[in-house]
Amino acid sequence: MLPRNPADRLFVFALSFVCLASTTPLGLAAQEPSASPTIDTTRTDTARKATDVGVVVINATKPLHVIGHLPDVQESVIYAGKKTEMLLMDSLRANMSQDIERQILGRIPGANFSETEGAGFPSNGVGFRGLDPTQSVEINTRQNGVGIAADLYGYPETYYSPPSEALSRIEVVRGASSLSFGPQFGGSVNYVVRDGSAFRRPTLFSAQTAGSSGLLNSFNSLGGTSSRWRYYGFLHLRNDDGWRPNNESRQTAAYVSSAYTPSDRLTLGFEYTAFRNRIHMPGGLSDEQFAANPRASFRARNWLASPWNLAAARATYAFSPTARLETVLSYMNSQRYLVWRNEDGGPQALDEIDPQTGTFVPREVERERFLNGTLENRLRVDHDLFGISSTLATGVRLFKGRLDRFEGGPGSTGADFDMKLYGGTWERALRFGTTNVATFAEDLVRLTDRLSVTPGIRFEYVRSTSKGYTDVDSVFTPRSYSYPLLGVGAQYAASSSTQLYGNVSGAYRPVLYASIVPFGSIVRVDPNLRAAQGYNADFGWRGIVQDVIKFDVSGFYLSYRDRIGTRTASDASGSFSETANVGNSVHRGAEAYIELDPLAGGSSAKTAFDIFTSLAYIDARYVSGQFKGNRVEQAPRLLARAGLTYGIGPASSTFQVSYTSSSFGDANNSMLPVDDAVAGFVPAYTLLDWSGAVRLGGGVEVTFGVNNLADTHYFTKRTGEYPGPGILPGAGRRVYAGLERKF
The DSSP secondary structure of 166-211, one letter per residue, reads GEEEEEEE-GGGGTTT---TT-EEEEEE--STT-SS-EEEEEEEEE
Q: Are 440 and 392 in contact (CB under 8 A)?
A: no
- Supply φ then ψ for residue 614, to 5 degrees: -130, 115
Q: How far is CA 121 from CA 250, 279, 295, 585, in A?
A: 11, 7, 15, 29
Torsional sign, CA 638, 192, 655, 687: positive
Query: What is the per-residue pLDDT across 12-50, written as a single tens digit (0 to 9) for each?
Result: 334 333 333 333 332 222 222 233 333 333 333 333 343
Q: How does pLDDT run across 87-103, given as a tens digit for each residue?
A: 999 888 999 999 899 99
Which contiguous run of DSSP H or E holds residue 16?
helix 6-22
Model pLDDT, residue 515? 77
Q: What is the 3-state secondary structure (H, E, C) of 485-548?
A: EEEEEEEEECCCCEEEEEEEEEEEECCCHHHHCCCCCCEEECCCCCCEEEEEEEEEEEEEECCC
Give the number of other CB atoms < 10 A from CB of residue 359.
11
CA distance 72 to 88: 18
> Which pairing describes strands 574-596 and 523-525: parallel, antiparallel, or unpaired?
parallel
| DSSP three-state, residue 349 | coil
| Residue-level pLDDT at 354 | 80
pLDDT for the residue 216: 97
Helix (H, G, I), strand (E, B) or coil at 146: strand
Cβ density class 661-683: b for 16+ within 10 Å, e for less? bbbbbbbebbeebbebbbbbbbe
Q: Which of 46, 49, 132 is nearest to 633 (CA)?
A: 132
DSSP conformational letter for 601: T
Amino acid in position 224:
G
Picking from 708, 712, 706, the residue whose alpha carbon sits closest to that of residue 692 is: 706
pLDDT of 590 reads: 97
CA angle 469, 473, 476 (to 5 degrees): 60
Helix (H) or strand (E) holding 8: helix 6-22
Domains and CATH numbers, the chain: 6-742 (2.40.170.20)
List Cβ neighbours of 89 (8 Å cut-off, separation of 6 or more): 96, 104, 164, 167, 168, 169, 170
722 has which bridge partners?
Answer: none
Query: Which letter, b or e, does each residue of 82-109 get, where b requires 16 or more Cβ atoms within 10 Å of its Cβ?
Result: bbbbbbbbbbbbbbbbbbbbbbbbbbbb
CB within 8 A of 297, min separation 6: which ones?
Answer: 244, 245, 246, 247, 282, 283
Q: Is 425 within 8 Å of 367 (Cβ atoms)?
A: no
Determine contact, residues 170/91, Cβ cutoff 8 Å.
no
| DSSP-assigned letter for residue 119 | G
Query: Any residues with CB less than 8 A from the CB of 597 and at least 6 apart, and which?
Result: 62, 64, 65, 547, 548, 549, 550, 608, 609, 610
Give the pLDDT of residue 604. Answer: 57
Question: Structure pTM?
Answer: 0.90
3-state helix, strand, coil in the chain (%, to 5): 10, 55, 40
Query: Given this model, what pLDDT does residue 43 score?
Result: 35
Query: Which helix (DSSP H) or strand (DSSP E) does residue 368 occupy?
Result: strand 364-385
Q: Give 387-392's long-range contacts (Cβ < 8 A, gap of 24+).
A: 388/445, 388/446, 388/447, 389/44, 389/45, 389/47, 389/48, 389/446, 390/443, 390/444, 390/445, 390/446, 391/44, 391/72, 391/73, 391/78, 391/443, 391/444, 392/441, 392/442, 392/443, 392/444
Please report, for the chain, how many H helices and E strands are present, in that order.
Answer: 4, 38
pLDDT of amino acid 578: 74
Residue 116: phi and psi, rounded to 5, are: -115, 5
Which pLDDT score, from 0 to 100, does residue 1 have? 43
Answer whether 86's CB lies under 8 Å from 172's CB. yes
pLDDT at residue 629 in the model: 95
- Long-range contact pairs involving 318-322 (C-beta distance under 8 Å, separation at least 24): 318/264, 318/265, 318/266, 319/265, 322/44, 322/381, 322/382, 322/383
Q: How far apart are CA 617 and CA 619, in angstroms?
A: 7
Task: Report cis status (omega within 30 of 0) of the bond before 527.
Answer: no
Ranges of the chain with pLDDT below 70:
1-65, 122, 473-475, 518-523, 567-569, 575-577, 601-605
DSSP H helical segments within 272-370, as ranges? Answer: 287-292
Closest alpha carbon to 127 in 160, 84, 172, 179: 172
Residue 337's nearest CA partner among 282, 284, 281, 273 is 281
Q: Are 93 and 689 within 8 A, CB to CB?
A: no
Counting every residue written for the chain, the total comes to 743
Confidence at residue 719, expressed as pLDDT on a 0 to 100 scale: 85
Give the dihedral sign, CA 173/175/180/184: positive
Among 379, 349, 380, CA closest to 364: 349
Report the pLDDT value the prediction gives residue 684, as an integer from 0 to 100: 97
Q: Which residues contact 554 (CB under 8 A, 6 or more apart)?
A: 83, 501, 538, 539, 540, 541, 542, 590, 591, 592
| Residue 11: its H or E element | helix 6-22
Residue 350: strand, helix, or coil: coil
